[in-house]
Amino acid sequence: MHAILNPADVDASGLVELAQDPTAPEGLVFHHAVEGKPLATPWQVAVLRAALLAKHSLPEGLVLDCACGSGIQLAAYASSLHRPVLGVELEPARARASAFNIRTVAAHHAAMDEAWFTQSRIVSGDGTDAEGVLQAVGTEQNIAFLHLDPARPRNSRTHALEEMQPPLHSVLRGWAPHFASDPAFVLDLSPRLTDEQREEVEALVEDVWPGLQRTWEWTSRGRGRVDRLALWGGRVAESGTARRFVRVPPTLGNEALILRTGVTDEPPTVRIHPPKRGEFVTLLDAALVESGLVSSWLPSVSKDRDFRWAVTEGRRPQVHHEHALRLNEQQRSLVQATGRVVELLSMELNESTVDGLVEHALEHNFRSVKLRMDLDPALQPVLQGSLDRQLQRRHGVRDGFLTRHPNGHTLLLCVSGRDEVEQGSP
Ligand SMILES: C[S@@+](CC[C@H](N)C(=O)[O-])C[C@H]1O[C@@H](n2cnc3c(N)ncnc32)[C@H](O)[C@@H]1O
């Protein structure tokens, strides 16, 4: 059975998990229900995606999210596209949260009289049952755009496609006959899908719409991992773009950095050389490396053509090169750290050796050294605190970082201050 909720009529009673999304502006506070909060799309990501969608022209018809959770993405679409939306959510309390969050966003924009709000609806029911949903809403309209962000079991190791709820193939098959013209969709998938699983997704889409245009999108918030992995299909895929990388800006309102490619670059391969003083070491955004766009991006910010990849996987991909990168402010957001090696240290870093590191850092006139390497999470703040305290008491002037060479026994002390790194775009 499908129940219809009108966002204009719902109130917050029974919705408990009230939360200030740290990426949303002051005063925009979302409600959640029954563990909906961890599933919700961060507001900044949702708005950025809606802005990208707004660049495409969509036909008349419904903007649908058939597993809308707390409705955060749905509310971002409605308020950015200024179009009424239809959400479907299996869990009734979350469906109410969706309706209430759309109301909250409309109130925030002083748009409670606008059609995008007054005509939006949430259906509490099964998002794979296209006919049932359309009948319940009593609409003859077709679908202009479909969004799907399926739930995944927490702590899943495999991130297998079969674990997604609602299942991808049921959604695609169920809604395919209802598109207005060419299909248009975003599948917001697990960021941990392997290349093989991405191919499985492609095969599912191909099965329903052979030859359909597709763009894969990796989104990063600069936290050392892929934040979102999405497939844009049909009329919202970017012509000539097989892969897109989106770096969410550190602050709301700033432009995202977007890189694109029409081809699939050769993935970087590890080529471990002995570390040497004077070379440059760069730790890159892990999502940029996973997206397959790093090999075409690096030459655009460097005069080097030889990049020696020391680490290609995990949270801190590491590449060695001869010259400083030439980065503008935006490009800098793709780099966790970059600098010149001033000292090779054959030591383990722990509480008994940190004073030795301080001595080396002082010899090179450092005032701060950030630890950019895997350490026991309990030990990391202790060591960083000790370094900070001891260096601040002296009169050093240089900033830098310490990372580990993949040979496992050499630590690389690098200087990274702006004076050491070339400025501006190439
Ligand atoms: C990851 S959440 C979506 C979060 C949403 N994008 C947001 O911004 O809040 C996925 C949702 O799909 C719902 N779901 C699972 N199976 C469903 C089905 N068959 N029909 C509708 N919703 C379903 C789950 O209850 C869950 O709330």
Tell me the three state secondary structure of residue 415: strand
Q: Is 34 in the pocket of ligand 1 (CB under 6 A)?
A: no
Burial of 400 (0-12, 13-18, 19+ CB in 10 A): buried
pLDDT digits (tens, 9 = 90+) for 5-20: 999 998 888 777 676 7
Is the distance from CB of 230 to CB of 146 less than 8 angstroms?
no
CATH code of the domain containing 291: 3.30.2130
pLDDT tens-digit series, residues 141-190: 999 999 999 998 777 666 678 889 999 999 999 999 999 889 999 999 98
Q: Round to whole Å and give the CA distance between 372 and 354.
A: 15
Do 239 and 284 sit in the same domain of this protein?
A: no
Which residue from 54, 86, 58, 50 is spatially nearest to 181, judged by alpha carbons?
58
The CATH number linked to 88 is 3.40.50.150
- Tell me, yes or no, whether 85 lies in a domain: yes
CA distance 145 to 236: 9
Residue pair 405/417 in contact by the 8 Å Cβ criterion: no
Determine whether the shortest distance from the Cβ of 78 to ligand 1 is under 6 A: no
Q: Is the CB of 101 under 6 A from ligand 1?
A: no
Is the pTM value of this prediction over 0.85? yes
Residue closest via CA to ligand 1's atom 3 equals 69
Residues in Cβ contact with 123 at an 8 Å cutoff, skipping those fewer than 6 apart: 2, 3, 4, 5, 86, 87, 88, 89, 95, 133, 136, 137
Q: How many Å apart are CA 8 and CA 91, to the nearest integer?
A: 20
- Residue 249 is encoded by which pair of tokens? 């800006």
Residues 219 and 366 in one domain: no
Q: How far is the CA of 361 from the centre of ligand 1 (A)?
A: 51
Ligand 1: centre distance to CA 189 (Å): 12
At 36, is the pLDDT very low, low, confident or very high (cuts 50, 70, 90)?
Answer: low
Is residue 67 lining ligand 1, measured as CB closer than 6 Å?
yes
Predicted local confidence at residue 408, as pLDDT: 82
Retrieve residue 219's tokens.
């989104």
Are 86 and 116 part of one and the same domain? yes
Same structural domain for residues 250 and 342?
Answer: no
Q: Which of 169, 209, 162 is nearest to 187 (CA)?
A: 169
Q: Please check whether residues 237 and 320 belong to one and the same domain.
A: no
184 in a structural domain: yes
Ligand 1 pocket residue status of 133, Cβ below 6 Å = no
- Cα 270 from Cα 231, distance rounded (Å): 28
Span from the CA of 2 to the centroid of ligand 1 (angstroms): 15
Name residue, tokens 């010149």. Answer: 340
Structure tokens at 169: 């193939």
pLDDT at 53 over 50: yes
What tens digit of pLDDT does each residue of 219-276 get?
A: 998 888 888 999 999 999 999 999 999 999 887 777 899 999 887 777 889 988 999 9
67 and 94 housed in the same domain: yes
Beta strands 335-345 and 398-404, pairing class:
unpaired
Atom of ligand 1 nearest to the CA of 88: 21
Minimum CA distance residue for ligand 1 atom 27: 69
Domain range for 305: 280-420
Are 76 and 46 within 8 A, CB to CB?
Answer: yes
Whole-number Å distance, alpha carbon 222 to ligand 1 midpoint, is: 26
Quick check: 335 and 251 in contact, CB under 8 A? Answer: no
- CB atoms < 10 A from the CB of 334, how many? 25
Mean pLDDT of the chain: 91
Q: Is there a domain that residue 273 lies in?
A: no
> How far does residue 83's CA lie from ligand 1's centre (Å)?
21
State the burial class of residue 7 (Cβ atoms within 10 Å of its Cβ: 0-12, 13-18, 19+): buried
Residue 151 Cα to ligand 1 midpoint, Å, equals 5
Helix (H, G, I), strand (E, B) or coil at 325: coil
In this structure, are 211 and 246 located in the same domain? yes
Q: Which atom of ligand 1 is nearest to the CA of 152?
A: 1
Phi, psi values for residue 167, rounded to 5°: -65, 140
Q: Looking at the structure, do residues 235 and 301 belong to the same domain, yes or no?
A: no
**What are the E-state strand segments in 62-192?**
62-65, 85-89, 121-124, 143-148, 184-189
**Residue 412, domain member (yes or no):** yes
d(CA 146, CA 58): 11
Nearest CA to ligand 1 atom 17: 166
CA of 95 to the centre of ligand 1 (A): 9
**Hey, what are 52's tokens?**
């990208």
**Under 8 Å between Cβ of 89 and 127:** yes
Kindly state if the Cβ of 149 falls inside 6 Å of ligand 1. yes
Ligand 1 neighbourhood includes 91 CB (under 6 angstroms): yes
Q: Is the CB of 45 under 6 A from ligand 1?
A: no
Give the model's pLDDT for residue 425: 36
Q: Which of 232, 261, 290 is the last residue of a domain?
A: 261
Residues 229 and 193 in one domain: yes
> Is 68 a pocket residue for ligand 1 (Cβ < 6 Å)?
yes
Cβ 61 vs Cβ 181: under 8 Å: no
Structure tokens at 184: 């248009």
pLDDT of residue 419: 56
The pLDDT, as a whole number, for residue 263 is 79
Residue 100 lies in a domain: yes
CA of residue 154 relative to chain centroid, distance: 18
Could you tell me if the CB of 382 is within 6 A of ligand 1? Answer: no
In contact, 325 and 335? CB cutoff 8 Å: yes
Q: Does some domain include residue 86? A: yes
Domain shared by 226 and 294, yes or no: no
Asked whether residue 151 falls in the same domain as residue 225, the answer is yes
Q: How many domains does the chain contain in total?
A: 2
Which H or E run includes 341? strand 335-345
d(CA 21, CA 160): 29
Q: Summarize pLDDT for 312-350 with one digit per residue, the tens.
A: 998 999 999 999 999 998 899 999 999 999 999 999 999
Domain contains 269: no
Environment class of 386 (CB within 10 Å of its CB; exposed 0-12, middle 13-18, buried 19+): middle
Residues constituting the chain: 426
CB of 124 sitting under 6 A from ligand 1: no
Residues 255 and 324 placed together within one structural domain of the fold: no
Contacts of 376 (CB under 8 A, 6+ apart): none
pLDDT tens digit string along 399-425? 999 999 998 889 999 999 665 554 433
Question: Hey, what are 317's tokens?
Answer: 């991909």
User: Token digits for 250?
Assistant: 């550190």
**Number of other residues whose CB lies within 10 A of the CB of residue 229:** 22
Residue 39 lies in a domain: yes
Q: Which of 230, 261, 292 is the endpoint of a domain?
A: 261
Q: Are 238 and 261 in contact (CB under 8 A)?
A: no
Give the end of a domain, one of 231, 261, 291: 261
